[in-house]
Chains A and B, each alone.
Chain A
Amino acid sequence: MSASGSTASGSGPSPAPGSGSPGRGGPGIDRGAVLLVTLGVGLALLASRWLMAQVPRWLPPQASTAAPLVDDLFALEVGIGCFLLLGCTAVIAWTLLFDRADKYDRDDGEPIEGNLKLEITWTVIPLVVVLLIAAQAIRVNGQLASLGGKVRVAGAAEALRLVGVAGLAVSGGAPDAQADVGRAPVVAPSTLMPGQGASGEAISRSSNRRASTTTTITSTNPVVTDRAAELGPVVVIARQWSWEFVYPDGVRSAELHLPVNRPVRFRLVSLDVLHAMSIPAFRLRQDVVPGSVIDYRLTPSREGRYRLRDSLFSGAYFASNQTDVVVESAEAFERWLQAARRSPLAPSPNAAADLWSQRQERGNRGWATVPPAPPPLVNVPLDPNAAHEG
């Protein structure tokens, strides 16, 4: 911002450069200096504009309704940042070019001790700029409205009960948590109509069915028929190191399939340590916190296959803890869901399990780690070889 603050004070014997001139405030304004500053500001504005146009090239495709909002905000910051950086760099470059002492010149420079007007200017301008950015960010946050509520639970077993998923082995929890496995009630599909299920306790109380790992899906009528209404809640289960997605009608998948242009609500559950569900193409990320069930909302807006990654360090095979999000048309999603219901549960291919068995073959060399949880039993396995877009 020093570039704009300089116009008034930039005067003196030598023409001022395209940026801040804390020089002696002479009575007259040097016309050459004004011209140079104007030219510099103009060029910096053009350069910032150009850089803002480059922003989409640095980012993955925009695959959710959040993406354009986030990208526009980021581009705004790139533009302001570029202008500021150019202004400061111009001052540094100018001094490097024109203010160097000659080899044997040991004299002092002009003893300028300060300039109150200039100091107030460069206090107020950044203040106004960051407050404007913050105001815009708060507005965007309101539009995103991705973060839902958070319910505290005492461990993984209670979390699973709360979201109504049964038959999962809980690893690493307290002993009583392990004892709960198999007794957790499964949610009756009819209780998970859209708009319901916000209160997890209500669900777990209202359901009384028992389930085991060999349960196949019995429900045949689609839970949600209205294609505009919110899908969900889709329960996201994070483990060391796998992802599992449980749909309202009980379908379990190692890939996240979503219909395009339809809002979806997630409930995020961790069975062991902290994870984060990060989908760069959606510009969205949310930590999955043991001891909490966190609600999250988004709307995919572009068909394609994108990466979903664990982005909060979760131990040895953290880097391999990724899967894909497949965004497809409403019809394709319905077909996928129907086919998934008919598929039996089977273990999904799992990179961490493969790496762990390779390690065992090599004599378990390496530094200490907990072993990976068994690959999730799902109706739809992960396709490790499918190409993703971003």
Chain B
Amino acid sequence: MTTTPITFDPRALRAPHPVPGAPDNWRRFFTFNTDAKVIGIQYIALSLLFLLVGGLLAMIMRGELITPPADLVDPSVYNGLYTMHGTVMLFLFLFPILNGFNNLLIPPMIGAPDMAFPRLNALAFWMFPVFGVVLMASFLVPGGPASSGWWAYPPLSTQNPLGLLINGQFLWILAVAISGVSSILGAVNFCTTIIRMRAPGMGWFRMPIFCWTALAAQTIQLAGLPVLTAGAVMLLFDLSFGTSFFQPEGGGDPMLYQHFFWFYSHPAVYVMVLPVFGFFSEIFPVYSRKPLFGYHVVAIASFGIVFLSLIVWVHHMFTSGTPQWMRHVFMVTTMLIAVPTGIKVFAWLATLWRGKLWLTTAMLFAMGGVFNFIFAGITGIMLATVPVDVHVGNTYFVVGHFHTVIFSTITFGVYAAIYHWFAKFTGRMLYEGLGKVHFVLTFVGAQLNFLPMHWAGLMGMPRRVASYDPEFALANVLASLGAFLLGVAMIPFLLNLVSSWVRGARAPANPWQAIGLEWLLPSPPPAENFEHDVPTVISGPYGYGLGHPLVADQERYEARLKEG
């Protein structure tokens, strides 16, 4: 902390989001604020809090699983814990934190002052604490929280053992439905903003890849979420009001729910991974000092993934009595996803090739994330193969696979994004040393946690068990140690976030010498970004080493940053 008065960019002082040293920094985060940058930080801070909740649940689970019998908690408690772990991590951590990045990054990256519908944006955010509280409250109701898994397959999820109207499963469905509505509102906003509010000169193929992937992901939300939300409402009616959409005794079919659920919930993985592909595509050029290899193809591949993601859901139902022809169709569509994702992975590797790599924490997390993603992609093809899935589906092989996607790829990408853009939106630099400690612990912890799970699954250990046969003990001990290491890895991370925000070095406008509209703004950017002086984009993104400016009068924008 410096004691001399800090000079601010005069526009930054008027910003409703935090400016280090400015008065009332905290208050604005607890109001119905319509500034996308405030909303972005609100999303990210609250979702990181829920990451700790979900991580704590995971560590109790791994404590239970470190020995074969169910001796730490009752099996019914374990089932509630794993259900809530999955739900918290997906609906209260990953979706909201990525929406936070959408809010922070989309307007500055395209030169827009804010989102298209700021009040709708704030409304979508404030539904997040509401369904967060609803879900957390389910720990307190009689009978405990939902314990039928995050799939909530009926008839198990509609059994309602205590016969109460307000029960854990009821609150769970309610929270998921509110979360769905919030995400649909967000998707309308993000799509409109990207389509309608780009800076002059920014044609589709001058748009940063993150905006491409965000648009692609939000398209999936618009196409898929109504289906899940409808399924959730029907489930709620089956549970509470005696309908029988999914009950065979009343002419319903539990398979119907599985279709509703997976039609959205498989693409949901792409909703999470596409923005992370965007992070990778932004971060590799910066720290390789090279243009993104094959920009056009990488951009279009995002929509290849969107299209395919909507026609693969039955691969979760290969053994549900699905007829052979349908298994074959969905096996082929699932495998085809390897093509557009492969295009992206190879493009990133080619971007690294002959670059001048800066191994910052953001770069390390991005490279680690891509390495893990290649591994997860290979096990994904294995799971898409019907005969192999018949053996390993619903085993720990699947648990290992999707944690390698959800944690070791998506969460790695989120960490990379935090290390890359923290300086831009808080005005403070993160400590690189703590960041590298965080990376090493996280990378080692993730491998130790998730690799042995694949082995346990191949041997036949089913997922979601509170106890298991002794032959799986070694794999589980290793996984538990990895999980605890991941818990330890949170310490340097949180220490870094808090201490940097409070007393980190002041961030310059462009600490990474990056190319992009957001780096032509002060750190943190003023309330309306470029206000009335929106630059005209004259070339594509990632012009590293090409020597041509990104915008007209670039010198003027750069000079103004130095004045501040």
Interface status of B498 (Cβ within 8 A of chain A): no
Known A2-B349, A122-B343: A108·B356 in contact at CB below 8 Å: yes
Q: How far is the CB of B256 from chain A (nearest CB, A)?
A: 10
In the assembled complex, A113 has its CB within 8 A of some CB on chain B = yes
Chain A, range 122-145, C-beta contacts under 8 Å to B: 122-123, 126-127, 129-131, 133-134, 137-138, 140-141, 144
Question: 1/0 per residue B391-434: CB within 8 Å of A?
Answer: 10111000000000000000000000000000000000000000
Q: Please measure, in the bound complex, the distance between the C-alpha atom of A375 and the C-alpha atom of B300, giving whole angstroms.
A: 58
If A313-B156, A368-B76 touch, whether A99 touches B291 (CB-CB below 8 Å) is: no
Contact, CB under 8 Å: B395 / A311: yes
**Residue pair A99, B357 in contact (C-beta under 8 Å):** yes
Query: Is B462 a contact of A311 with CB atoms below 8 Å?
Result: yes
How many angstroms between the C-alpha atoms of A111 and B285 in the bound complex? 10
| Known contacts A111-B291, A137-B385; A319 and B358 CB within 8 A of each other | no
Q: Which of B372-394 contact A (CB under 8 A)?
A: 374-375, 378-379, 381-382, 385-388, 390-391, 393-394
Q: A289 to B145: give the CA distance in the assembly, Å.
A: 25
CA distance A274 to B294 in the complex (A): 47
With A359-B74, A366-B76, A369-B161 in contact, is A101–B249 under 8 Å at CB?
A: no
Q: Which of A60, A274, A291 lies in contact with B156, CB distance below 8 A?
A: A274
Q: Which residues of B, 524-548, contact A by the 8 Å Cβ criterion?
A: 543-546
In contact, A123 and B343 (Cβ under 8 angstroms): yes
- Render B432-456 as a binary contact track against A, CB cut-off 8 A, 1 for contact: 0000000000000000000000010
Complexed CA–CA distance, A105 and B75 (Å):
57
Interface pair B352/A91, CB less than 8 Å apart: yes
Query: Does A35 interact with chain B (Cβ within 8 Å)?
Result: no
Bound-state CA distance A96–B513 (Å) is 20
B-facing mask of A282-324, CB < 8 A → 1, else 0?
0111110111101000000000000101111111111110100
| Docked pose: A274 CA to B375 CA in angstroms | 31
Known: A58-B459, A109-B354. A367 touches B464 (CB 8 A): no
Task: Please tell me if the beta carbons of A319 and B388 are within 8 angstroms of each other in the complex.
Answer: no
Report which of B248, B320, B324 forms a contact with A155, defined as CB distance below 8 A. Answer: B248
**How far, in angstroms, from A69 to B386 measured CA to CA in the complex?**
12
Q: Are B513's CB and A106's CB within 8 A?
A: yes
Among A73-81, A186-194, A205-213, A326-334, which stretch is in contact with chain B?
A: A73-81
Are the C-beta atoms of B382 and A318 separated by less than 8 Å? no
Distance in Å: Cβ of A352 to nearest Cβ of chain B:
9
Bound form: Cα–Cα A69–B244 in Å: 41
Q: Is B458 within 8 A of A58, CB to CB?
A: yes
Of the candidates A95, A112, A147, A318, the one whose C-beta lies within 8 Å of that of B291 is A112
- The answer, yes or no, to whether B92 is at the interface (CB within 8 Å) is no
Does A355 sit at the interface, judged by CB under 8 A? Answer: yes
B460-516 contacts to A (CB < 8 Å): 460, 462-469, 513
For the complex, what is the distance from the CA of A359 to the CA of B394, rounded to whole Å?
28
Interface flag for A107 (CB, 8 Å) = yes
- Are B327 and A272 in contact, CB atoms less than 8 angstroms apart? no
B233 to chain A, nearest CB (A): 21
- Judge whether A233 is part of the interface by a CB distance below 8 angstroms: no
Interface residues of A in 84-113 (CB under 8 A from B): 84-85, 88-89, 91-92, 95-96, 99-101, 105-113
Shortest distance between the CB of A10 and any CB in chain B (Å): 10
Stretch at the interface among B112-120, B170-178, B190-198, B330-338: B330-338
> A92 contacts which chain B residues (CB < 8 A)?
349, 352, 367, 370-371
B538: min CB distance to chain A, Å: 17
CB distance from A323 to the nearest CB of B (A): 12
Q: Does A114 contact B (CB under 8 A)?
A: yes
A228 interfacial contact with B, CB 8 Å: no
Q: Which residues of A contact B296 (CB under 8 A)?
A: 114
Number of interface residues of A (CB under 8 A): 108
CB-based contact B382/A313 at 8 Å: no
**Interface 9-residue window, one of B128-136, B146-154, B271-279, B551-559:** B146-154
B160's nearest neighbour on chain A, judged by CB, is A368
B70 to chain A, nearest CB (A): 7
A155 to B252, CA, bound (A): 10
**Which of A60, A66, A310 interacts with B460 by CB under 8 Å?**
A60
Which residues of the partner chain B approach A314 to less than 8 Å between Cβ atoms?
156
| Contact present for B349 and A130 (CB under 8 Å) | no
A201: interface (CB < 8 Å): no
| Smallest CB separation, A163 vs chain B (Å) | 15
With a cutoff of 8 Å between Cβ atoms, the chain B residues found around residue A140 in the complex are: 387
For B161, the chain A residues whose CB sits under 8 A away are 368-370
> With a CB–CB cut-off of 8 A, which chain A residues contact B381?
77, 81, 130, 133
Q: Interface digits, B332-371 against A, CB 8 Å rule (1 contact, 0 not)?
A: 1001101100110111011011111111000000010011
Q: Are B251 and A368 in contact (CB under 8 A)?
A: no
Cα separation A289 to B247 with both chains bound (whole Å): 11
Q: A74-B388, A141-B386 are in contact. Are A81 and B378 (CB under 8 A)?
A: yes
Other-chain residue from B248, B255, B324, B358 in contact with A147 (beta carbon distance below 8 A): B324
Closest to B82 in A: A313
A174 and B250 contacting across the interface, CB-CB below 8 Å: yes
Residue from B253, B465, B513 in contact with A319 in the complex, judged by beta carbons closer than 8 Å:
B465
Once the chains bind, are A99 and B462 in contact (CB under 8 Å)?
no
B358 near A89 with CB under 8 A, answer: no
Contact residues in A for B297 (Cβ distance below 8 Å): 114, 119, 123
Instruction: Give the shortest distance, in Å, between B321 (CB) and chain A (any CB).
Output: 5
Are the C-beta atoms of A73 and B385 separated by less than 8 Å?
Answer: yes
B144 at the A interface (CB under 8 A): yes
A370: chain B residues within 8 A (beta carbon): 159, 161
Q: Is the CB of B356 within 8 A of A365?
A: no
CB closest chain-A residue, reference B353: A22
Chain A residues contacting B513 (CB-CB under 8 Å) are 106
Residue B55 CB within 8 A of the other chain:
no
Instruction: Assess the B393–A285 pair: CB atoms within 8 A.
Output: yes
Q: Which residues of B contact A112 (CB under 8 A)?
A: 290-291, 293, 350, 353-354
In chain A, what residue has the closest Cβ to B385? A137
**A335 beta carbon closer than 8 Å to chain B:** no
If A84-B378, A95-B357, A99-B353 touch, whether A367 touches B143 (CB-CB below 8 Å) is: yes
Given that A138-B328, A289-B254, A289-B255 are known contacts, is A23 also in contact with B354, CB under 8 Å in the complex?
A: yes
Q: Closest chain A residue to B320 by CB distance? A: A287
The reply to whether the CB of B295 lies closer than 8 angstroms to some CB of chain A is yes
Out of B70, B153, B357, which one reaches A96, CB within 8 Å? B357
Which of A23, A118, A129, A154 has a CB less than 8 Å from the CB of B248? A154
What are 26 sample pairs from A and B whose C-beta atoms fall under 8 A apart?
Answer: A20-B346, A20-B349, A74-B388, A85-B375, A99-B355, A100-B357, A105-B356, A108-B545, A123-B297, A138-B331, A140-B387, A141-B387, A154-B249, A155-B249, A274-B153, A274-B155, A280-B460, A287-B319, A287-B320, A313-B156, A313-B463, A315-B156, A320-B75, A367-B168, A368-B142, A368-B168
Of all A-B residue pairs in the complex, the 5 with the closest CB atoms, nearest first, are: A291-B248, A280-B460, A367-B144, A368-B143, A108-B545
7 additional contacts (CB under 8 A) given A119-B294, A176-B249, A319-B465: A133-B335, A140-B387, A147-B323, A273-B156, A290-B155, A317-B75, A319-B464
Which residues of B approach A to under 8 Å, CB–CB? 70, 74-77, 79-80, 142-145, 147-149, 151, 153, 155-156, 159, 161-162, 167-168, 247-255, 288-291, 293-297, 319-321, 323-324, 327-328, 331-332, 335-336, 338-339, 342-343, 345-347, 349-350, 352-359, 367, 370-371, 374-375, 378-379, 381-382, 385-388, 390-391, 393-395, 455, 458-460, 462-469, 513, 543-546
